[in-house]
Structure 1
Amino acid sequence: MPDWLQSRHALITGGGTGIGASAATHLNAAGAKVTVLGRRAEPLEFVRNIVGGTAVQADVTDRGDIDRAFDEARATNGPIEMLIVNAGIADSAPFAKTTRESWDRIIATNLTAAFDCAQAALPDLLASEHGRLIFVASVASLRGVPYAAPYAASKHGVLGLMRSLAVEFARTSLTVNAVCPGYVDTQMTSDSIARVMAKTGRSEEQSRAAIEGQNASGRLVHPDTIGTMIMTLCLAQSQDVNGAAITIDGGTSA
């Protein structure tokens, strides 16, 4: 693969598993220096051993920890020229039984952390000739989701943040976009399958089929599909893609 990203520094939150790990692999293959950031050391080190670069532990719900981790990443790999905001969590419950604690936890991780990470990297992103800020949102950014009101609300907020920043910085070298996956073959989806099993009494096969059926294709999206799109948005040739919410869901949103 050509050295399209020319040793530019990409930082990926939630970089140890799933979409984040796939993004790290594709960005590294295109020539980027990669920092993977997350809470758990073991999966971060696993990814780092594959792609090289740097692994940094941090809690994205703590702004001080974000600032410390970003400074650590800069010290090794230089200014952050591409920021992939991927860290996120989900839960499900009827709205009447959704606790304030669950709401606060999901909003803090999915939305407030997106604000903090974007703001912490902004000076670097604006100084770059090809700054890239990419949010991993969800098809839940685009429609209501029963039994997942906090998650859908957080992802709607991420899309509003993305669109606002895209307009604010449209006359700079920074582009701001979002990818909006459907159900992806990741641990988060496996956790959703487990919740369906626990709450409905369905078998694992039945629960998986119910989740897969939410995508029009009838299958889960492969993480590499998302990683490839993230890499593409980071290319210099993608400079005119700005403010886009790119759905990757097997045709469900068509």
Structure 2
Amino acid sequence: MTWATGKHALITGAGTGIGAGAARALAAAGARVSLLGRRPEPLQAVAAQTGGRAIPCDVTDPEAQARAFAEARDAFGPLDIVILNAGIGDSRPFLRTGRETWNAIIATNLTALFDGAQLALPDLQAAGKRLIIVASVAGLRGGAMAAPYVASKHGAVGLTRSLALEFARTGLTVNAICPSFVDTPMVDDSAERIAGATGKSVEEARALLARTNGNGRLITVGEVTHAIMQLCHSDASGTNGACVTIDGGTSA
């Protein structure tokens, strides 16, 4: 028996990248996993690998997210671990950023966290329960050419710290994961935008992003998953309100 046996973990943005990595790791540790995401095909693939339940859901639709949480509970019972990971990014000059871009990023990266936390918290107010918000190092410092994204991630960090304080005496821990550029489809999208704007190749753009990390390379999904698993572990009850940076030393 492993430490997560019998626990129910719900992960948003679980079809690819960090969410999929966390789902695989938690399932390997014995957890039953509910997988939320917009695209059914990647979710089904992760469900097949983990024995989890794929629940297609656009987290920017509060009613859809509420239905998804209800379906997860019907399948596996009350929640023990919730990882709010769904997110989108964009990069462009502020004065060329339209309100529709701002609205979309805030809706996915911040408002959906509010909705998800409110849906999760009735189950999580007990010793050993875990709420993890996947934020970003962009939530801890400024960043040019990405104002909506940076603002949304600052909000994610603020929400994490506020919930950690408000619910500390229930036994719940609330922590944020703050990675820099991770080798995921989101970074692939960023590299393509940079390539389109600069004339560089996609590989050159990826290398440019990698050099912004302290270790000069992209962070791996496995490295982020390792940090998530440490915070989820039953021995991590003393870590609450933390913002765990995974950036290869940039923040040192």
Under a length normalisation based on structure 2, what TM-score does the superposition of the two structures give? Answer: 0.98
Q: Is the CA contact (8 Å cut-off) linking 2:127 and 2:170 kept in structure 1?
A: no
- Aligned match of 1:199: 197
- Aligned match of 1:3: 2
- Aligned match of 2:136: 138
- Aligned match of 2:155: 157
Aligned length: 252
Q: Is the CA contact (8 Å cut-off) linking 2:182 and 2:220 kept in structure 1?
A: yes
Q: CA–CA distance in 1 between the matches of 2:228 and 2:24? A: 11
Deviations 1:46-88 (CA, angstroms, capped at 9, x unpaired): 0001111211011101111111000100011111111000000
- Aligned match of 2:146: 148
Which letter does structure 2 place at the counterpart of 1:234? C
Shift of 1:129: 3.4
Deviations 1:173-213 (CA, angstroms, capped at 9, x unpaired): 10000000010000000000000100001122321211111
- Aligned match of 1:23: 22
- Aligned match of 2:120: 121
Deviations 1:63-122 (CA, angstroms, capped at 9, x unpaired): 111110001000111111110000000011100010000000000000000010010011
Shift of 1:170: 1.1
- What percent of counterpart residues are identical? 57
- Aligned match of 1:169: 167
Q: CA–CA distance in 2 between the matches of 1:78 and 1:230? A: 22
Q: CA–CA distance in 1 between the matches of 2:154 and 2:203? A: 31
Q: CA–CA distance in 1 between the matches of 2:6 and 2:28? A: 11
Q: CA–CA distance in 2 between the matches of 1:205 and 1:230? A: 28
Shift of 1:229: 1.2
Aligned pairs (5 A) from 1:206-245: 206-245=204-243
Which residues of structure 1 form unaligned runs of 5+?
A: none
Deviations 1:214-236 (CA, angstroms, capped at 9, x unpaired): 10111100101111211111111
Q: Is the CA contact (8 Å cut-off) linking 2:182 and 2:218 kept in structure 1?
A: yes
- Aligned match of 1:65: 64
Which letter does structure 2 place at the counterpart of 1:46? A
Which letter does structure 1 place at the counterpart of 2:222? D
Which letter does structure 1 place at the counterpart of 2:52? G
Runs of 4+ in 1 over 3 A off after TM superposition: none
Question: What is the aligned-residue RMSD (CA, Å)?
Answer: 0.8
Q: Quick check: 1:98 aligned with 2:97? A: yes
Under a length normalisation based on structure 1, what TM-score does the superposition of the two structures give? Answer: 0.98
Which residues of structure 2 form unaligned runs of 5+?
A: none
